[in-house]
Amino acid sequence: MKKMLRKIAVVTGIGTALLILPSAQKSMQQEDVIKIGFIPLTDCAPIVMAKEYGLFKKQGVNVVVTKEASWANVRDKLLTGELQAAHCLSSMPLSVYTGVGGKAGSELKIAMILNTNGQAITLSNEFCGKIGFKQVNKVKGVVDARKASGKEVTFAMTFPGGTHDMWLRNWLANAGINQKSVKIITIPPPQMVANMKVGNMDGFCVGEPWNGVAVAQTVGFTHLATQDIWKHHPEKALVVNKAFAEGKRDQLKKVMKAVMEACKLLDNGANRKQSATVIGAPSYVNAAPAVIENRLAGIYDLGCNQGQVTYVDDYMLFHKKGLVNFPRRSHMYWYLAQYVRFGYLSEEPNYKEVVDKLLMQDLYKEVATEMGVAIPNDDMTPFATNIEPGATFDPKNPSAYLSTCKK
């Protein structure tokens, strides 16, 4: 594997990442071991490939990547200091801090965004032929009919207040389904397909490759991708614990630079193809590389005799000249507004206070500037999502949005 990586590194112009200067090696040995956790998902690629390509070593930091069982497990290990950083749902620190998905007041810091797009909603074969690809207008009728027959309707996401939870609830709301009329459960990403196979849920929202795996195993079909809900939405983030963020600033910057470099490389098609083989291994995601590779390329076999669709400019992206990695305050405000919208919070929080406490935007700007990466100027610019035509979220006035959006 190392020989293969070295060969590909030279072909794709990253051979220098594997040539570690003696001074860097000495510095790395003197530094503490940094543990970075990840969940078996395709978008763990920036963390895993930064390790595999030797980019952490290039920066002079001694990083160990660890495979974790669930987002709750990641949260707990970050808070106790067992992990210094992790591949995380970008909204998870907000969820934990506000008490939606953890003990209120617990601080986890958002250093940078790892990717956009590339999650999906999968429905079980019970809905095959009744609801087609992106046919959100047909969901309520099918769900109501199923309930009228005496069957409970259950959907799964991966963490309360997490990104998958937000995409699922937005989809339900815009399908006209009352959140309380269905059961919503929490299942770790790698367990989604197995749980659907035994009938524990009617649908789920999760990251790849598990939607693609469900199709490959004929367990379910892709109803829509999350880029159909919100094109270029923020997805995973590099999240760090408070002690590491405040006490090891220089090491964190080096980690961020390595991850940023990996993100750049992953937007190259040749590197994506090769990374699918690497992260598909049992020690990482443990899924068929072909499934990972296709969806990384934007090629979606939908299942349920729906054929195939190809996403051209809005498949999973990792860098896009810095547009992906910049952690925007407006996006974090949107997440917090969703917590109010869907009843997680009884009243609107102090958006600025919460986001300023958790978002390490100034540090990101330092890293990006030192790497020559452009910093977008749309930090607090109003935006719209695909699934709510005509509804604009203005981060300077979340209340106006909440007064008009569907619940």
Angle at 147 between CA 145 and CA 153, to 5 degrees: 115
* pLDDT score recorded for residue 406: 80
Q: 42: which DSSP letter? A: G
3-state helix vs strand vs coil in the chain, percent to 5: 45, 15, 35
- Residue 51 gets the label, from left (phi > 0), alpha (psi -120 to 50) or beta, of alpha
Alpha helices for 33-91 (secondary structure H):
45-52, 55-59, 71-80
DSSP for 343-401? TSSSS---HHHHHHHHB-HHHHHHHHHHHT----S-TT--EE-TTSTT-EE-TT-HHHH
Q: What is the rounded distance in angstroms from the CA atom of residue 244 to the CA atom of residue 254? A: 13
- In the numeric block, the tokens 């070295």 are attached to 6
Show the domains of the chain with their CATH numbers.
2-117+233-285+318-404 (3.40.190.10), 119-232+298-310 (3.40.190.10)
Q: Which residues contact 202 (CB under 8 A, 6 or more apart)?
A: 123, 124, 126, 127, 146, 153, 154, 155
Mean pLDDT per 10-residue interval, the chain, length 407 residues: 43 40 46 92 98 98 98 98 98 98 97 98 97 97 95 97 98 94 97 97 98 98 98 98 97 98 96 96 98 97 97 97 98 98 97 98 98 98 89 95 88
* pLDDT score recorded for residue 32: 87
* pLDDT score recorded for residue 31: 55
- In the numeric block, the tokens 């990403």 are attached to 189
Q: What is the rounded distance in angstroms from the CA atom of residue 397 to the CA atom of residue 173? A: 21
Q: 234: which DSSP letter? A: B
- Would you call the peptide bond into 209 cis, given omega within 30 degrees of 0 as the criterion? yes
In the structure encoding, which two tokens stand for residue 82, read together?
A: 């067992």
Q: What is the rounded distance in angstroms from the CA atom of residue 74 to the CA atom of residue 86? A: 7
The amino acid occupying position 286 is: N
Q: What is the rounded distance in angstroms from the CA atom of residue 65 to the CA atom of residue 36? A: 5
